[in-house]
Structure 1
Amino acid sequence: MEMSARAKRMQRSNKLRKQPALNLVSLMDIFTILVFFLLVTSSSSQQLPNTKDLRLPNSTAKKAPEETLIIMVTERNILVQGRNVANLQDVVASDDKVIGGLKKELEFQSSNKTQLTNDEDSASDGFAVTIMGDENLPFEVLSRILATCRQANYTKIAFAANQKAKQ
């Protein structure tokens, strides 16, 4: 059976309108490589939490910091891992050498660490803490924070600073 000219034209136009199949294999390969690249690069960098209330001092260091408990001292508050533990005005007004709310939170954090590790030897050496304080932080407040850390067995104390490249 022979097709009419109109049927042949319609068959040709239908072939032209057909969409080619989308090949997803190469697209999936690219995204897989991208995901692995992002996983590898994101796990190797350590960053401290960023806050707009702090202006950290500048420093040069040869060794990268370890992940530790973070105490942030802003213009108004003292924060441990982002949780408000004390008001800075109350700390300045107080005559106590130890900050009660901070000590309570540090002891809570250290008890959680010993329960997770079940290693009393690491607890006897003391725990590590990083203090992020504004560069204009009064020394009186800083000395009270240090005394509180020592009371709560946090003896490995580091100060956060912006790292400058060596000249």
Structure 2
Amino acid sequence: MKQSFRAKRMFKQNQRLAQSSKLNLVALMDIFTILVFFLMVNQSDVVVLPSNKEMRLPQSVSEQLPREQVLLTVTANGVLIQGKPVWRGDWQQPAEEWQEPLAAAVKQELQYLAGRAAPLPAEQQPLGRPLTILADAATPYAVLRRLMAISAATEYRDVSLAVEQRSTALEASP
């Protein structure tokens, strides 16, 4: 039996449509190349300090962004410098029990980090090396004061406290 012209045309069209479509990788690669360059240029605008999920930072309206520097983290049961556990203890104990071991451990680690870093230029000598203290809002002030005194005894006198930025719009509204 002979097929009509219409049947032949429909058969060819069905065969053509049954083929799988091809993905144009050139256009896709162009998009990803532009995306990579965009992300590389814009990634340096945001600085996020590492923190624990159970840590709640104090709130402030500070406009100053954090810089890349030595990070001293105060947790509920110890102190970490650059993510390395330096001292473990309980802040609820009497101060005489934790002050001396804390001072020795933190001072030793800060001196080690200062020894590995480049020497300070003469104009930066009075200010010292930068250090950021990341502590929970419930951390006793005596602990923070002691850590700042320990860091000032080493070359780390430019101390910053990490805070969570609070919106100034919320501050203005009653």
TM-score normalized with structure 1 length? 0.80
Q: Is the 8 A contact 2:58 2:137 kept in 1?
A: yes
Supply the distance in 2 between the matched residues of 1:141 and 1:65 (Cα, whole angstroms): 22
Q: Is the 8 A contact 2:70 2:132 kept in 1?
A: yes
Deviation, structure 1 residue 50: 2.0
- Residues 124 and 15 of structure 1, relative CA distance in 2, 3 Å threshold: same
Deviation, structure 1 residue 97: 9.3
Look up the match of 1:137: 139
Look up the match of 2:115: 111
Deviation, structure 1 residue 75: 0.3
Q: Is the 8 A contact 1:53 1:75 kept in 2?
A: no
Q: Which amino acid aligns with 1:34?
A: L
Give SS of 1:96's match. Answer: helix
For structure 2, the residue ranges without an aligned partner over 5 or more in a row are none
Look up the match of 1:73: 74
Supply the distance in 2 between the matched residues of 1:50 and 1:70 (Cα, whole angstroms): 11
Aligned counterpart in structure 2 of residue 153 of structure 1, from 139, 155, 159: 155
Deviation, structure 1 residue 122: 6.1
Q: Which amino acid aligns with 2:47?
A: Q
Supply the distance in 2 between the matched residues of 1:122 and 1:104 (Cα, whole angstroms): 25
Supply the distance in 2 between the matched residues of 1:88 and 1:130 (Cα, whole angstroms): 21
Q: Is the 8 A contact 1:129 1:156 kept in 2?
A: yes
- Residues 15 and 65 of structure 1, relative CA distance in 2, 3 Å threshold: closer
For structure 1, the residue ranges without an aligned partner over 5 or more in a row are none
* Cα deviation 1:38-76 (Å, max 9, x = unaligned): 222222211100212321100011222222111110100
Look up the match of 1:49: 50
Give SS of 1:153's match. Answer: coil
Q: Number of aligned residue pairs: give it.
A: 160
Q: Is the 8 A contact 2:76 2:90 kept in 1?
A: no
Q: What percent identity do the matched residue pairs reach? A: 31
Give SS of 2:100's match. Answer: coil
TM-score normalized with structure 2 length? 0.77
Q: Is the 8 A contact 2:89 2:98 kept in 1?
A: no
Q: CA RMSD of the aligned region, Å?
A: 2.9
Give SS of 1:111's match. Answer: helix
Deviation, structure 1 residue 132: 0.8
